[in-house]
Amino acid sequence: MKVNVYPDYETLSQNVADEIIRCVRNKPDAVLCLAAGDTPRLTYETLTARATKEGIDFSHCTFVGLDEWVGVPLDNEGSCSWFLQRHIFTPLSLSRSQIHLFDAMASDLENECNKMNEIISGKGGIDLMLVGIGMNGHIGFNEPGALIDSYAHVIDLDNTTRTVGQKYFRQQMSLTRGITLGLKHLMEARQVILIASGERKAEIIKHTLRGPVTTKVPATVVRNHPNSMIMLDEAAARWVKGLTRG
């Protein structure tokens, strides 16, 4: 695991975009799993602008969804799917066949999980997984106590996630369950990047980097991944001493 700290959100985002571009240049048919959420917003803006300007070809890549709120339609502006569509898929002009997302409205969610597991294994696994971190240390919707050997699954969201998750929605939502890739997907991905920005993430980042590795704080398992990077801005790294500045 490497930890890189950047002076601000803009520099962090540029460097995360660089990593995604490097991955796709090395492997044009890469399988990418890119998180939704506020943190990677500028990364995607940078990425898609550079893709246009520098002619970076994403047309052979496959994109798989990380997570989704159960019961929220894909076209709801607060859904992860809508976010990815708006900030990545449309700007990159991807074709439908390149994109595989959870349908969190499906009546058979178990089947959604199985389909996603098969797509990922059929493509030979995930090349790059870019994840954010929840205020409770979750990764995707792998909540505290998640199983280390889990693939895609449906879970009950914990109270922190239910509350914090409201920020993505215009109207009050009942956010009770999530569907997510598992920690085994994370550990099997060829490269993992965890990003965090802002002082509100400083406390959980301290636990993630300095606390024991435990699924009680799912983000800590990133430390055991052989090719992982934790990329932070100064504000998120505030309570961790002794980190090298990038």
Smallest distance from ligand GLP to CB 172, Å: 16
| Residue 21: count of CB within 10 angstroms of its CB | 17
Q: Which is nearer to ligand GLP, 218 or 240 (CB)?
A: 218
Residues 6+ apart with CB under 8 A from 145: 215, 216
Do residues 17 and 47 make contact, with C-beta atoms less than 8 angstroms apart? yes
Asked if 151 is part of the footprint of ligand GLP (rule: CB under 6 A), the reply reads: no
Amino acid at the residue 61: C
Residues present in the chain in total? 246
Could you tell me which stretch among 31-39, 84-92, 94-102, 107-115 binds ligand GLP (CB under 6 A)?
31-39
CA-closest candidate to residue 56, choices 16, 107, 11, 20: 20
If one asks whether residue 182 binds ligand GLP (CB under 6 A), the answer comes out as no
User: How does 127-145 read in b/e, with b if 16+ C-beta sit within 10 Å?
Assistant: bbbbbbbbebbbbbbbbbe
43 binds ligand GLP (CB under 6 A): no
Q: Is position 143 annotated as part of the catalytic site?
A: yes
- Note whether 156 binds ligand GLP by CB under 6 A: no
Measure the N-to-C terminal CA separation of the chain; round to a whole number of Å. 15
Q: State how far the Cα of 24 lies from the Cα of 6, in Å rounded to an integer.
A: 23
Question: What is the contact mask toward ligand GLP in residues 47 to 66, using x (rule: CB under 6 A)?
Answer: -------------------x
Counting contacts by CB under 6 A, is residue 134 touching ligand GLP? yes
The active-site residue, picked from 19, 67, 127, 233, is 67
Residue 132 in the binding site for ligand GLP (CB under 6 A): yes
Closer Cβ to ligand GLP, 27 or 100, answer by number: 100
Torsion 187-79-233-54 (CA) sign: positive
Of 219 and 244, which has the nearer Cβ to ligand GLP? 219
Single out the residue of 65, 78, 140, 182 in contact with ligand GLP (rule: CB under 6 A).
140
Contact positions vs ligand GLP (CB under 6 A): 35-39, 66-67, 131-134, 140-141, 161, 165
**Positions marked catalytic:** 67, 136, 138, 143
